[in-house]
Amino acid sequence: MKLDQVFGIHAVTTLLNRDPERVKRLFIVQGRVDPKVEKILTLANETGVHVESISKHRLDERVDGVHQGVLAEAKPLPTLGDKELFKLLDEGEQIPLLLVLDGVTDPHNLGACLRTADAAGVAAVIAPRDKSAPLNATVMKVACGAADAVPYFQVTNLSRTLNQLQERGIWVVGTAGEAQGSIYQTDLTGPLALVMGAEGKGMRRLTREQCDLLINIPMAGEVSSLNVSVATGVTLFEIVRQRSS
């Protein structure tokens, strides 16, 4: 079985807090002693995770990214699809807030979206199985632990899944620059699935047609659009503001 790489202080700490059973081996760079590493070592000791000391050179060879002196090799996260998504929704008691990413293929953007989704209290992130970024090491590093905290569902047919959400009373709202109403003029307090389009191309036609409503983020300057992870953050926290007011 190929193991996932989870590296970086925040990502590894969250993994040990939330799902230590996944961790097969934990590497700590030789000579690093500070409170953050001490916390990781304490968690590893409490959960029975084997720790190996490793030179910075060998750790650099193992990891393609900024590891901050810490690397966990872990069993892969389970693949979640439609069945698991609707089980989660049927068991939930709160007004659902979902994030749908239509074709976000850049792992840095996916990681940033997961991190923002966690901060905003999103119950699940949904993406099509094809033409979407997988949960790889880069995603987990950028997400700073959110990849373990927010379920990521990759569905076979996104348009069909959106229709099934609508049948459950969840409002599907897409973002598009040409939309008439803005995020600040729209009531976003009910059960909601927020749909964000891919980098550059936006939502696909079938996804757009499935939305109940399209909204935009007002742009005051020369730039006509925002990076998908930034736009996700702006919109999600407007939803949070409306729900808490």
Tens of pLDDT, residues 192-223: 999 999 877 788 999 999 999 999 998 877 66
Six-digit token string for 9: 């202080």
Tens of pLDDT, residues 26-40: 999 998 889 999 999
Six-digit token string for 112: 């940033």
Tens of pLDDT, residues 103-137: 899 999 999 999 999 999 999 999 999 889 888 87
The pTM of the full predicted model, rounded to 2 decimals, is: 0.84
User: Could you say which of 3.40.50.2000, 3.30.1330.30, 2.60.34.10, 3.40.640.10 is the CATH number of the domain covering 4-74?
Assistant: 3.30.1330.30
Give the rounded distance of the alpha carbon of 13 from its chain centre.
17
Give residue limits of the domains in the chain: 4-74, 82-244
Contact 70, 41 (CB under 8 A): no
For residue 92, with 0-12 CB atoms within 10 Å meaning exposed, 13-18 middle and 19 or more buried, which class applies? Answer: exposed
pLDDT value of position 156: 93
Q: What angle do CA 207, 210, 213 make, to 5 degrees?
A: 105
Contact 49, 85 (CB under 8 A): no
Q: Does domain 82-244 have CATH number 3.40.1280.10?
A: yes
d(CA 58, CA 110): 28
